[in-house]
Amino acid sequence: MKETTTWVVADPDQEDMFWPSEAMKQRAWMSDPSIYEESDKDPVAFWEKLAREGLHWYKEWDTAYNEAPPYFTWFQGGRLNASYNCLDRHVKTWRRNKVAIIGVREPIDEPAQSLTYYDLYREVNKFANVLKSLGVGRGDRVSIYLPMIPEAQIAMLACARLGAPHSVVFSAFAPDSLRSRIEDAGSKVLITCDGYYRRGRPVNLKNNADDAVEGTTIEDVIVFRRTGQEVNWVEDRDHWWHELMAEADPYCEPEVMDSEETLYILYTSGTTGKPKGVIHTTGGHMVQAHWTTLWDFDLHDEDVFWCTADIGWVTGHTYNVYGPLSVGATQIFFEGAPDFPDRSRVWQIVENHGVTVFYTAPTLIRMFAGWGDEWLKKHDLSGLRLLATVGEPINREAWMWFFNKVGGGRCPVIDTWWQTETGGTLINALPGIGPFIPTVAGRSFPGTRHEILDEQGNPLGVGEGGLLVQKSPFGPGMLRGVYGDPEMYKDNYWTEYGDRTYYTGDGARLFIEDNFRITGRVDDVMKVAGHRLSSAEVENAVCGHPQVAECAVVAAPHDIKGTTPYAFVRLSEGEPSEELAKEIITHVVKALGPTCRPEKILFADALPRTRSGKIMRRILQRLVSDEPIGDTVTIENPESVDTLKALVGYRDKS
């Protein structure tokens, strides 16, 4: 019968609604829909049960949940260690020799590096001792600037073993971005490498690191040798990873951490020009990482999980490190680019390494679809049984292509909504419960509550668009603050609707009861190819060019990337030219890295502003999105809008 051989079935009454088959339900860790009501009756008791069942605690907590708005705690008084949970407990079981990480290299002639749980355990213990020998201890911050090589996970887990919060910085960020994150965190050690491979060529990373650390709090730099290329060397400050490891003792006792002690800081872009150091704590993060990994991706011991996110973003933290390792899964960790040496690379990896669960971003799916089906057809993808997405809204075409072409119409597509701040997924369908609906993320994860509010804070029903919020009790994996900046924490998340309602910054609507469709950011945060960028940060970089008087950066729609930055620029001197536009773009890339590259520079004599002189980004946003401009009475210089309409080729969609 069809039901036993395929993982999903279509709803005959609803063209676009899919449900798990009996086989999927039987296989799934969670297939009982009553979990939603049950967990909602007493979310704290629910999370306590999960915490007990999912993790190893040296001591149970005194207080499961406490709220002192806008702060809250989970499992306070409970003691655990994240690296113990990811490693030690597995090496005491048959999983000791199970493969934990398959490090797939960029150069095709270099074999993949498989690390078993025991291999990883040994490396992490030794590296924790290396850090210790440099004076790193509990509470010390360590910055990590590494590409997609397993040493990134080793470094993170070694920090966790010592109770030293890590701050991982995306390897494509420019030296200035690394520097400001090092300075804000006050890190004393930086872990980096000589370089890495990108489309067959070695890229130097150490030079960037050198530029970034000068004059900061960094005392020691540990350099992993990946490419063997020439690097600059600062005696006494720089150390080769392999030399230190050769001397290191094989075992390091894990620190016994309080649940509420910081596991890591991760910088993310907000609405201001300054990145925020989002704080995640040990117990809450581990509980959320563990259970969302198990239930969302339905990982079993025979699965091979591949999350394509970079380690520099939160998805890389939760679903390339703490989640999959906590549940004892096998995962792929891929160094390279999806189109090298050709556009079938990803599918070749899926086939060759037997990937069963594939988690990626809508941007990549749109790119794959645009490349054409021939690349998929070269490979056997029949091993896949679950697909998932994250990072930005997915359009219907991309969802259906992913479902039909990659998943062969068998695999549920789990569209997970979450943020750096939430630490783990929060809104998505569960594979054993469903439904799976294109463009609809799904339900609040059991034990959490979300609502859609209008601007006055009234809850909205099915069909009405509003702002997505989270209600108390907040998920255990939620951020506990912004490093060194309590005001920013309050202003960003707890002023819009008061200090008991977490404001996400996303617009959403209920598609059907309990099922959320997320429509995207409503603030000045941009999602470009799934990467989170701040308009203000890019503006600061554009304005750093000596000929720019002022500028405004907005997210314009883009077929593949979802949105892309357009910079409106007024010059202080010189004439607009293509050359100058290129120069400004190069300037931004140098300051922030290629991820923040503006797609277009639009030179304007005047930008729309309020009476008080503030540039009205909202109007520019509508101009580049072909949306109705709306009321212009509050614009001091409405004539500027007509000029800009011509400049951007505005076509009112309404």
In the complex with ligand WTA, the residue whose CB is nearer, 265 or 571, is 265
Q: What is the DSSP letter of 598?
A: -
> Is 267 near ligand WTA (CB under 6 A)?
no
Between CA 163 and CA 83 the distance in angstroms is: 9
Residue whose CB is less far from ligand WTA, 529 or 604: 529
SS3 assignment for 623-653: HHHCCCCCCCCCCCCCHHHHHHHHHHCCCCC
Pairing mode of beta strands 99-104, 330-334: parallel
Within 10 Å of residue 496's Cβ, how many Cβ atoms? 18
Interface region with ligand WTA, contact rule CB under 6 A, candidates 279-287, 449-457, 458-466, 500-508: 500-508
DSSP one-letter code for 593: -
Q: By CB under 6 A, is residue 532 in contact with ligand WTA?
A: yes
Q: Which of 241, 417, 436, 489 binds ligand WTA (CB under 6 A)?
A: 417
Decide the pairing of beta strands 525-528 and 142-144.
Answer: unpaired
CB of 218 to ligand WTA, least distance (A): 26
**Closer to ligand WTA by Cβ: residue 82 or 307:** 307
Q: Is-contact 332 359, C-beta < 8 A?
A: no
C-alpha dihedral sign at 275, 276, 282, 288: negative
Compute the distance between CA of residue 445 and CA of residue 164 in angstroms, rounded to an integer: 30
Distance in Å, CB of 520 to ligand WTA, minimum: 6
**Is residue 416 at the binding interface for ligand WTA, with CB under 6 A as the rule?**
yes
Structural tokens at position 545 = 């060019």
Q: How far is CA 441 from CA 296, 461, 507, 515, in A?
A: 12, 17, 13, 7
What does each C-alpha distance from 421 to 5, 154, 173, 472 come to in angstroms?
A: 39, 23, 20, 15
Exactly one of 123, 298, 310, 415 binds ligand WTA (CB under 6 A); which one? 415
Binding of residue 466 to ligand WTA (CB under 6 A) = no
Per-residue interface string for the shown chain with ligand WTA, residues 562-591, x marking contact by CB under 6 A: ------------------------------
Rounded Cα–Cα distance for residues 416 and 29 (Å): 17
Collapsing DSSP to helix, strand or coil, 48 comes out as: helix
Comparing CB distances to ligand WTA, the nearer of 124 and 426 is 426
Q: In the set 186, 465, 520, 576, which binds ligand WTA (CB under 6 A)? A: 520
Task: Select from 25-33, 61-69, 117-125, 518-526 the region that touches ligand WTA (CB under 6 A).
Answer: 518-526
Least spacing, CB of residue 272 vs ligand WTA, in Å:
15
Least Cβ distance, residue 419 to ligand WTA (angstroms): 4
**Which of the residues 312 through 351 are near ligand WTA (CB under 6 A)?**
313-315
Does residue 448 interact with ligand WTA by CB under 6 A? no
**Binding residue for ligand WTA, selected from 177, 216, 419, 534, defined by CB under 6 A:** 419
CB of 427 to ligand WTA, least distance (A): 7
Q: Per CB under 6 A, which of residues 277..316 are in contact with ligand WTA?
A: 313-315
Q: Is 614 helix (H, G, I), strand (E, B) or coil?
A: coil
Interface ranges with ligand WTA (CB under 6 A): 268, 313-315, 390-393, 415-420, 441, 504-506, 518, 520-521, 527, 532
